[in-house]
A and B are shown apart, each in its own frame.
Chain A
Amino acid sequence: MPDLGKYTEYVLLSYGLSIGLLVVLLALTLRRGRKARTALRRIEEETSRNGKN
């Protein structure tokens, strides 16, 4: 860990908050994407079973 001197808390806070926000964005994006793709697969199966597609 480099010596950040009197700026330690500012630098670490910047990195911590930014990386945290990016991880949350990534997690929410993947979760929403997975849910949407699963829902589409289900409804496509249902429509093809009913011979409507």
Chain B
Amino acid sequence: MYFKLGNQVAWFTLAFTLLIGLEAHAESTADKTPVITAQPSNCVTLHQGRACFAKVVINWQVDQPGNYCILAKHNGQTLHCWRNLKESQWIFEFQSAEKVEYQLVAADSKQILAETEITVSWVHKATPRKRRWRLF
């Protein structure tokens, strides 16, 4: 009986160790999943419809060194590229009246690896008036 219990404990310990190991492996894989982030991710303007300006930092990371680019999703324009890197940072001047989505793509295969976006919000809603500002 004691032996059997001890055996069960041994199997449980083995299974638990394997589980932890798998978890750790999964985490380490997740760490290397292509990631792209933008800071700030929201730009606030005074009036709806007005272009919003912000200094934005985009960070990206992939698991293998290679050639990668950042594209603007709405028009496919290539904004910046890197050679033989697996992570980097890009600082640029954001200017838009509406949300802009960015894609991290593999330069050679054109495969989209990750996406991020910068939203635009406002303090004052647009009104049907031609010149909103004129209303005191």
Please say whether chains A and B are actual partners in one complex.
Answer: no
